[in-house]
Structure 1
């Protein structure tokens, strides 16, 4: 096994040398830039400071022999032959990422509860979609207006996009997804979009507040934090109406398996058997944190929840620049 270190960020991961350095970096949650992943575009070009890399076959078209002689390498094609120290600017802004329109196939559909379904979309092997944890895509079907859905899985390199779709009363697209969409159906997506994404360079503890399917981008953020071995404290608050709306057990699993992750579910319309938190989710946060000055807060869900939370959090010391939000607007125009 070899150690790969990006000297720009200090981030380190391990590789057995059998896969391209880029592939292993993405598996470990690092936001190395990339494009075609075929050795043509040159977007994953890095400078090798120490160590040795090699290519299977000749030098790829995306890099010149002169650049190789100067210590540069295409990370999508090269493999580590020793421990490697390299220099590459990792993506940390939506401005660094290209918005693309891509075909996709429905790989699987699973009903998670009475009004939420999970869809996995597969992008063709020759394509890729790079995004930051928390961003969303527009899902496109010729019979409907495009509809925005948050990406629920962490950035990776497997060509899969995880979406959590809630059935909206009167919503034509979501009714189509629930009642007519089938596996292997062909769609298009456009993205990534949105400035709601995880600021991973910060050292502040993180509060993640989700309402309903606002859990989807929160899931992406937490999975990314776990993949990158982030040691910041993470507090997850998931607010729903009743217990059945907690459509995944993952938050409790994360809390059980990671000392720095904590989970509090909050029900607004609980029955008598519920022994946990009750009421509005943002009020549980206010109850647990007397002073929010030193925290970053990510809020995703219905607009009224986000608006009420922002106002209350500022009154309890939160710095406005430390508040990041994505409000879901359930409108028939397909806008988010």
Structure 2
């Protein structure tokens, strides 16, 4: 199978989402509609090295297919990262970026006949924002959707207000952020502290499954999608399988 050709995208908007995270809207002028499946990514070719393989950086698409020729990326500035340093310091609205895509098979199951656990850290939320809006916009039949987002502090939250409002409107969708380094003086029950792993374990346990059992008949049907850094994904895979789920139900997109 041959690779998709390189295309030229035009950066039409840049917005700071947090102190070290930016949203980039990229238009594809040569296309009327940039079509992709939620969960896919694009690869950018950045002028940061002579060797092509060391110039390329891949980012999940954080927007959803809407019939336009514009897609969105959310990118975190990595300390010492050549690619993100160049994007943050050099790229301005109106600039062009060579890209290839859409790419990847980290996409929704068909049909969505089980609960979906979207488990992510940092900008790993991008594909799940895309998937969630796509499901709800098109009234795709689904079970419960749990978007469990982990970051350090409240100020690191990505798309927080948007996803919180969406969860208030749609009963089948729960947005659950948790903060590993946030101090909550008033113990606000709406603010979860800790790591993502305790959250999905609590949900599974509270819905009648037997934690620690090897009997798959006692587990609620679910698909698990993981996106973020390797340590989180490795631990999540271990914990989910320890609950009794088959590894075939676990899908992952690794960052870094």
Structure 2 partner of 1:61? none
Q: 1:224 aligns with which of 105, 110, 134?
A: 134
- Structure number with greater Rg is 1
Structure 2 partner of 1:33? none
Structure 1 partner of 2:228? 301
Per the TM alignment, residue 293 of structure 1 is displaced from its structure 2 partner at its CA by 4.6
Matched, 1:286 2:213: no
Structure 1 partner of 2:153? 242
Mapped partners of 1:288, 1:126: distance in 2: 43
Q: Map residues 1-336 of structure 1 onto 2, 5 A cutoff.
A: 99-126=4-31, 128-144=33-49, 145-230=55-140, 231-248=142-159, 249-273=161-185, 275=188, 276-290=191-205, 291=209, 292-329=219-256
Distance 1:236 1:126, change over 3 A: closer
- Taking structure 1 as the reference length, what is the TM-score of the superposition? 0.66
Per the TM alignment, residue 156 of structure 1 is displaced from its structure 2 partner at its CA by 2.9
Number of equivalenced pairs: 234
Mapped partners of 1:100, 1:218: distance in 2: 26
Aligned to 1:121, what secondary structure does the other structure show? strand
Aligned to 1:221, what secondary structure does the other structure show? helix
The one of the two structures with greater contact order (alpha-carbon pairs below 8 A, sep at least 6) is 2
Structure 2 partner of 1:76? none
Mapped partners of 2:228, 2:129: distance in 1: 13
Aligned to 1:297, what secondary structure does the other structure show? strand
Distance 1:263 1:164, change over 3 A: same
Deviations 1:117-168 (A, max 9, x none): 0000000144654321101110112334111100001123201110000000
1:100/1:129 contact within 8 Å kept: no
Greater percentage in helix: 2
- Taking structure 2 as the reference length, what is the TM-score of the superposition? 0.86
Structure 1, 110-119 or 225-234: larger mean CA deviation: 225-234
Mapped partners of 1:157, 1:239: distance in 2: 31
Mapped partners of 1:174, 1:221: distance in 2: 25
Per the TM alignment, residue 278 of structure 1 is displaced from its structure 2 partner at its CA by 1.6
Deviations 1:225-278 (A, max 9, x none): 111213421111101111111132222111011111112111111113363222
Distance 1:219 1:98, change over 3 A: farther
Aligned to 2:91, what secondary structure does the other structure show? coil
Mapped partners of 2:178, 2:100: distance in 1: 33
Mapped partners of 1:154, 1:165: distance in 2: 16
Mapped partners of 1:235, 1:266: distance in 2: 13
Distance 1:126 1:265, change over 3 A: closer
